[in-house]
Amino acid sequence: MVKPKTEEEIELLRENALIVSKTLAEVGKRVAPGVTTLELNRVADEFIRDNGAIPSFLGYDGFPAALCMSVNDVVVHGFPSDYVLKEGDIVSVDCGTLYKGYNGDSAYTFPVGEVDAETRKLLDVTKASLYKGIEAAVAGNRTGDIGYAVQTYVESFGFSVVRELEGHGLGREMHEEPGVPNYGRRGKGTHLVEGMVICIEPMINAGGRGVYLARNGWAVHTSDHRKSAHYELTVVVRKGRAEQLSTYDFIEKDGTINF
């Protein structure tokens, strides 16, 4: 049985979600050809600390940075580096915070300059599938309903769901129960009850669903080296309609991204 969060805990998680959401927007303003992922990591680390939080990814099981920076065929968990972003690349930015004893976690995939039509479609479909999953994150449903919503939408466009990685609960720990797969069957999986706080995060490949782990033990690549997109939001399970804690409003309403 997964214990739901109290309203007081949800407010603390909301504060983290706000910091994470604003951090992603700060990073997004600087995503452009010629910028290194290491520079974007520096921007995020500084912004998180300036807002009184700690970058929770840094040092997590030995992870060496404040952000996961995953470019093109890297699905998730890429290291920031001296890699210089190029026109047509995409970069998934996954950000975590620790503030007042609770965690924040959200991700967004940014296009670098102009991208080709297939890449644009991959980004659009992946982000839309996240909202399909959120629509299913209501009390009385199960995690399988979320996965089913994501999977059926994505596969209708010919894209593939990564199955080795999933969303998760969030609270005092960065990864809590329940696991939230991006595929599944309706009516299966963990019961969703009001007050559960979960991260839904579709990881969607342009090609096949196969992935492999890089030698560094962190970065997950697509087996066919085609691009992969990743979006993640934190929500509270409620009756009738999930409540979003993190948001893309800071990214999309200020002109940072114009889809």
Hey, what are 162's tokens? 């990564």
Give the residue carrying structure tokens 């019961």.
191
Instruction: Tell me what the mean pLDDT of segment 126-139 comes to.
Output: 98
Q: So what's the pLDDT on residue 257?
A: 52
Does some domain include residue 258? no
Does some domain include residue 201? yes
| Domain extent for 69 | 7-252
> How does pLDDT run across 184-219, given as a tens digit for each residue?
999 999 999 999 999 999 999 999 999 999 999 999
> How does pLDDT run across 73-93, given as a tens digit for each residue?
999 999 999 999 999 999 999
pLDDT of 258 above 90: no
Q: So what's the pLDDT on residue 1?
A: 72
Count: domains in the chain: 1
Contacts of 158 (CB under 8 A, 6+ apart): none
Distance between CA atoms of residues 91 and 123, nearest Å? 11
Distance between CA atoms of residues 45 and 95, nearest Å? 10
Does some domain include residue 75? yes
Distance between CA atoms of residues 190 and 91, nearest Å? 32
> How does pLDDT run across 94-118, given as a tens digit for each residue?
999 999 999 999 999 999 999 999 9
The size of the chain, in residues, is 259
Does some domain include residue 259? no
Does some domain include residue 59? yes
Hey, what are 141's tokens? 């449903």
In whole angstroms, how large is the CA radius of gyration of the chain? 17
Does some domain include residue 204? yes
Q: So what's the pLDDT on residue 254?
A: 59
> How does pLDDT run across 26-37, given as a tens digit for each residue?
999 999 999 999
Residue 54 CB neighbours (<10 A): 15
Distance between CA atoms of residues 227 and 229, nearest Å? 7
Q: So what's the pLDDT on residue 259?
A: 36
Q: So what's the pLDDT on residue 253?
A: 82
Does some domain include residue 115? yes
Does some domain include residue 213? yes
- Report the CATH number that the domain containing residue 154 is assigned in CATH: 3.90.230.10
